[in-house]
Structure 1
Amino acid sequence: MEKMAETIFDIRGIRVTFDTPDGAVEAVRGVDMHVKAGETVAVVGESGSGKSQIMMAAMGLLASNGRAEGSVTYRGQELVGLPREKLNRIRGAKITMIFQEPMTSLDPLYTIERQISEPLRVHGGLSAAAARKRALELLKLVHIPDPERRLKSYPHELSGGQRQRVMIAMALANDPDLLIADEPTTALDVTIQAEILGLLAELQRKLGMAILFITHDLTIVEAFADRVYVMQHGKVVEEGATEQIFNRPAQDYTKMLLAAEPEGHKPPVPKSAPILLDAHKVSVTFSARGGLFSAGFALKAVQDVTLSLRAGQTVGIVGESGSGKSTLGRALLQLLPSEGRVVYQGVPIQGFSRAAMRPYRRNLQMVFQDPYGSLSPRMTVGEIITEGLLVHEPGLSAGQRVEQAMEALKEVGLDPAMRNRFPHEFSGGQRQRIAIARAVVLKPTVIVLDEPTSALDRSVQKQIITLLRRIQQSHNLSFIFISHDLAVVKALADYTIVMKSGQVVEEGLTDEVFERPRSDYTRDLMEAAFDLKSVLNRQAEARV
């Protein structure tokens, strides 16, 4: 018990400043926090609150224009200003870090074996054979299926959950004292998220390490953490035991975060509402030709899916990564070759060429998951929004296009004066609003929204949900809303389809699917999304 009370990681008065063309920006402003041996501490707050920059400063990983002041000690050893060679004896060995997006953290040119072996050889001094043996043990420890084969795999050959497990294996390679996990489950499905959290809890019990968990997902914090620090604008505004923070929050900001869960209810549209988009037995198959030493393969990503979308309706499509939901959305808009039948307002558009589809594109719009990737960095916001008008309304003058762009920006809650800025000058939530404005400016009848809120803070998600509801009501729009976030789907959709392995396993009115799920798969999804603590407790009992 005495060891559990020992503080191993102590942050005192830490400040992080970045030099920018517009002057110095203070991202972290005098923060104190600590972690004791064996405990789990969560640092929460919206994007831009400074929570990740504290850890980057502690690990000596700040960008070249950043500087840190204050004190960060690990078991009494000062880390701020420590020479790189001395810092390297601690980071990667005693303190390790898991980053938010494993695909950008793992080297695409190296095998999994090489990436796990490197810290073992650098910090542990192991031979190549010993490092390989240890790498195999670590893959087994994090429950990677077929670990011997996966050692030879490259990152792109693994699923998102498997890549995150590899990141955990790398972090655990040298039996760390403290694991810093920076948004390690944000982009994962709820069931995979539960598996990763259960795995971390299991490893924590086995290895006795402390965990510092950085996240904006309060559902995870409530189920997983012992203590919580709440950050806003670079400062800690509240701290305390998890139970206290969730049941008796003292600060208005904390109360706002806790109240930011998606809420509301969309009543079903009347059965007399006209059907705009009708799909029957849609299938999508991806195939690849074999090489000299490998056979070709065919993957049926979507199998015989039938759905109808009525005027003013929102159909939610949920399921884990790889379930085929995004592929289905693209097939419905004829962005992918598919089989089956797709009819838009009585016109069979299945198999239409690019030229034949052009007249229908303005009515069939799509908003993608990552607005930063789907918005051209070389175009201003005004140019991005008016690009579709150049194609679909060539008779408009430049002034008329600008006027419509300004109106679209107002509609999504952005200042029209921002139209001359570039995408990188906006936050994630603002960029998603711009992507929605680009779709809405064409006055479509159907919008497919592919994971439009998955990377956003809960408070920003709530704003986007409110925005989508308002736009839908104003224009009588029909949405196909694709997501693995069941809370968002519950708030937005009046009809829900559950997909697994390319097939529909359950569908019906949203209230019925969420309150009385019929399939075991749907029940597992619901429990992982709305009762994470029970799932983690059951996992722990099963392992014991």
Structure 2
Amino acid sequence: MNDANSTVLTVKDLKVNFSTPDGEVQAVKGTSFSVKKGETLAIVGESGSGKSQTMMAIMGLLAANGKVSGSARYGNTEMIGADLGRLNAVRGSKITMIFQEPMTSLDPLYTIGKQIAEPLVHHRGMGKRQARARVLELLKLVGIPEPERRIDSYPHEMSGGQRQRVMIAMALANEPDLLIADEPTTALDVTIQAQILDLLADLQKRFGMAIVLITHDLGVVKHVADRVVVMRRGEIVEQGTRDAIFEHAQHDYTKMLLASEPSGSKAAPPANAPVILEGRNVTVDFEIGSGILFKTSRKFRAVDSVNVTLRQGQTIGIVGESGSGKSTLGRALLRLLESDGRYRFDTSDISLLDRKAMRPFRRQMQLVFQDPYGSLSPRQTVGEIITEGLYVHEPNLTKADRDKRAIEALKEVGLDPAARNRYPHEFSGGQRQRIAIARSMILKPKVVILDEPTSALDRSVQRQVIELLRDLQQKHDLSYVFISHDLSVIRAISDHVIVMKSGRIVEEGPTDDIFESPAQDYTKALIAAAFTH
């Protein structure tokens, strides 16, 4: 690997099949590409396109029901069909991989120091003292604060961004020739995402390693990739240099992906539009360390004296990093958790209402969650899920009436009414989110709070969901509170933006004002991170 232009990995006619109860499923259908030393190759495509399975097959990490054929050569070593000994000589040493969700990749029972040391002991035969010294070097290299203290921390004691840095340190322990990064920033806030991408670029220059970046975020690809491979349904439909793909895309699918960035803008409602939901001096405290295992407890202030005024037909976007209080504020406005402050819905003061007294208001104040799969019962049909609220709020409806309403709700969100007899696992992520929206819309609400409703979706699906929400808002004169750390989505759907940090509002105003001329340094940093990377 001494030649600066040498090829690190060559893949030819790679195929991946999975055996299922319904027969063979072709996940990857004969892909061919190469990766050169020092370059970043991005593999892009929607969920299910075969991006991750391609690299998992090369690493010998397919599920038990997976079969792979073709060729993937690292230097003179054929990875496909290699025995465990040959694979282990390469994996973790010459080719390493980091995943989207570090919490599921890190062992919760071991300190991060021991986990980073493992490849050093296994591949280099280092002793404990030597490995610990190298781990401290790696923690400093990836920017972990106070590495001497953090080396003995457990994964749950670290933030998402810090855990991802630990995964990078582990991957770099043996200075690999190739780093495979599978959606390494998708679950992170924009500022942390920018830091991780900068870190990878810096480490790549330092070690001269190649990077394969698997992602559906074309904004990231545009700024970090040298070459791009576009995959769809298990096949490569187009590949070329970054500039060629972004400026002269040939395939219709590539053009569709490039056009999927959320766009457009939302006009503000009239200044005299009636106030539909209001929270004054909203404050939420959580008890930390309470219970039989703790002698003392303390209060953590998640939301600190926040004021929100939502008008009819308005969309307020709430942005901020993880832990800023966005979601907690949304739930407080719906009176779903204990909080202090004054609350008004329409013309009613709901500040002191208990759970029973709040019930009549619930149908008009709906919530859509981030993970549609987690919020939909796997044991109920789609029809049962979306009509569940009718049993509570319209108990006199007949079965035929409920079925009619289900059909109307599914049509309204662009789904086949026949879907009401199927189960959530039979649908894609975007379709499941439409089902979650239908469940809210069937009750004909006035206010919908949407908590990261598009963050788990591909860009093309995000765009469809945003367009659906716009159409529903216009049709029913709805008011939205849209919570997200994705600023491009917030810009496309909101007419007013609230920026939160540490439980407080640091800045708010019309969407164009916030994005074009932010006043606060924190807002400027968020916007720079979102639109520079």
Give the superposition deviation at 1:38: 1.1
* SS of equivalent residue, structure 2 residue 443: coil
C-alpha distance in 1 between matches for 2:105 and 2:400: 45
Q: Is the 8 A contact 1:136 1:151 kept in 2?
A: yes
Give the superposition deviation at 1:328: 0.7
* SS of equivalent residue, structure 2 residue 90: coil
C-alpha distance in 1 between matches for 2:139 and 2:353: 46
C-alpha distance in 2 between matches for 1:170 and 1:358: 51
Match of 1:466 in 2: 467
Q: Match of 1:100, as an amino acid?
A: Q
Per the alignment, do residues 442 and 208 of structure 1 end up closer, same or farther by CA in structure 2, a change over 3 Å counting? same
C-alpha distance in 1 between matches for 2:374 and 2:122: 35
Q: Match of 1:278, as an amino acid?
A: E
2:11 aligned with 1:11: yes
Match of 1:296 in 2: 297
Deviations 1:201-255 (A, max 9, x none): 1111111111000001111111001111111111111111111111111111111
2:123 aligned with 1:123: yes
C-alpha distance in 2 between matches for 1:114 and 1:388: 50
2:427 aligned with 1:426: yes
Give the superposition deviation at 1:184: 0.5
Match of 1:239 in 2: 239
Give the superposition deviation at 1:145: 1.6
* SS of equivalent residue, structure 1 residue 238: strand
2:220 aligned with 1:220: yes
Deviations 1:366-405 (A, max 9, x none): 1111111111122221111111111111111222212211
Give the alignment of 1:357-396 within 5 angstroms.
357-396=358-397
Q: Is the 8 A contact 1:274 1:311 kept in 2?
A: yes
Per the alignment, do residues 351 and 165 of structure 1 end up closer, same or farther by CA in structure 2, a change over 3 Å counting? farther
2:34 aligned with 1:34: yes
C-alpha distance in 2 between matches for 1:506 and 1:216: 30
Give the superposition deviation at 1:174: 1.6
Q: Match of 2:283, as an amino acid?
A: S
Give the superposition deviation at 1:517: 0.8
* SS of equivalent residue, structure 2 residue 193: helix
C-alpha distance in 2 between matches for 1:360 and 1:243: 53
* SS of equivalent residue, structure 1 residue 301: strand
C-alpha distance in 2 between matches for 1:339 and 1:293: 26
Per the alignment, do residues 114 and 336 of structure 1 end up closer, same or farther by CA in structure 2, a change over 3 Å counting? farther
Match of 2:491 in 1: 490
C-alpha distance in 1 between matches for 2:335 and 2:128: 50
C-alpha distance in 1 between matches for 2:310 and 2:379: 36
* SS of equivalent residue, structure 1 residue 394: coil
TM-score by length of 2: 0.97
C-alpha distance in 2 between matches for 1:280 and 1:431: 34
* SS of equivalent residue, structure 1 residue 187: coil
Give the superposition deviation at 1:262: 0.7
C-alpha distance in 2 between matches for 1:378 and 1:109: 33
Q: Is the 8 A contact 1:136 1:148 kept in 2?
A: yes
Deviations 1:296-344 (A, max 9, x none): 3322111111010111110000111111111111111112211111211
* SS of equivalent residue, structure 1 residue 88: helix
Match of 2:66 in 1: 66
Task: Return 523-532 or 203-212, whichever deviates more.
Answer: 523-532
Give the superposition deviation at 1:508: 0.6
Q: Match of 1:153, as an amino acid?
A: S
Give the alignment of 1:134-213 within 5 angstroms.
134-213=134-213
Give the superposition deviation at 1:119: 2.3
Per the alignment, do residues 22 and 107 of structure 1 end up closer, same or farther by CA in structure 2, a change over 3 Å counting? same
Per the alignment, do residues 432 and 292 of structure 1 end up closer, same or farther by CA in structure 2, a change over 3 Å counting? closer
Match of 1:539 in 2: none
Deviations 1:168-191 (A, max 9, x none): 111112211110000001111111
Q: Match of 2:200, as an amino acid?
A: L
Q: Match of 2:16, as an amino acid?
A: V
C-alpha distance in 2 between matches for 1:447 and 1:456: 19
Match of 1:502 in 2: 503
Task: Return 83-92 or 56-65, whichever deviates more.
Answer: 83-92
Q: Match of 2:481, as an amino acid?
A: I
Q: Match of 1:283, as an amino acid?
A: T
Q: Match of 1:424, as an amino acid?
A: H
C-alpha distance in 1 between matches for 2:455 and 2:374: 14
Give the superposition deviation at 1:514: 1.0
Match of 1:476 in 2: 477
Deviations 1:255-296 (A, max 9, x none): 111111111111100022111101111111122236888863
C-alpha distance in 2 between matches for 1:273 and 1:10: 61
* SS of equivalent residue, structure 1 residue 447: strand
Match of 1:542 in 2: none
Q: Match of 1:496, as an amino acid?
A: V
Q: Match of 1:375, as an amino acid?
A: L
C-alpha distance in 2 between matches for 1:403 and 1:101: 41
* SS of equivalent residue, structure 1 residue 89: helix
Deviations 1:479-532 (A, max 9, x none): 000011111111100111111111111101111111111111111111111222
* SS of equivalent residue, structure 2 residue 202: helix
* SS of equivalent residue, structure 1 residue 85: helix
Give the superposition deviation at 1:2: 7.0
C-alpha distance in 1 between matches for 2:421 and 2:80: 40
C-alpha distance in 2 between matches for 1:405 and 1:124: 62
Q: Is the 8 A contact 1:334 1:351 kept in 2?
A: no
Match of 2:264 in 1: 264
C-alpha distance in 2 between matches for 1:293 and 1:399: 54
Q: Is the 8 A contact 1:338 1:351 kept in 2?
A: no
Unaligned 5+ residue runs, structure 1? 533-544
Give the superposition deviation at 1:448: 0.5
TM-score by length of 1: 0.95
Task: Return 179-188 or 126-135, whichever deviates more.
Answer: 126-135
Match of 1:410 in 2: 411
C-alpha distance in 1 between matches for 2:518 and 2:311: 23
Match of 1:536 in 2: none
C-alpha distance in 2 between matches for 1:295 and 1:146: 27
* SS of equivalent residue, structure 1 residue 373: helix
Per the alignment, do residues 321 and 243 of structure 1 end up closer, same or farther by CA in structure 2, a change over 3 Å counting? same
Match of 2:87 in 1: 87
Aligned residue-pair number: 532
Give the alignment of 1:428-443 within 5 angstroms.
428-443=429-444
Task: Return 168-177 or 50-59, whichever deviates more.
Answer: 168-177
Give the superposition deviation at 1:156: 2.2
C-alpha distance in 2 between matches for 1:294 and 1:528: 42
Give the superposition deviation at 1:351: 4.7
C-alpha distance in 2 between matches for 1:421 and 1:153: 45
Q: Is the 8 A contact 1:337 1:351 kept in 2?
A: no
Q: Match of 2:227, as an amino acid?
A: R
* SS of equivalent residue, structure 2 residue 498: strand
2:287 aligned with 1:287: yes
CA RMSD of the aligned region, Å? 1.6
Q: Match of 1:344, as an amino acid?
A: F
Match of 1:456 in 2: 457
* Percent identity of equivalent pairs: 63
Q: Is the 8 A contact 1:38 1:210 kept in 2?
A: yes
Unaligned 5+ residue runs, structure 2? none
Q: Match of 1:400, as an amino acid?
A: D
* SS of equivalent residue, structure 1 residue 444: coil
Per the alignment, do residues 401 and 124 of structure 1 end up closer, same or farther by CA in structure 2, a change over 3 Å counting? farther
C-alpha distance in 1 between matches for 2:257 and 2:319: 25
Give the superposition deviation at 1:420: 2.1
* SS of equivalent residue, structure 2 residue 82: coil
Match of 1:341 in 2: 342
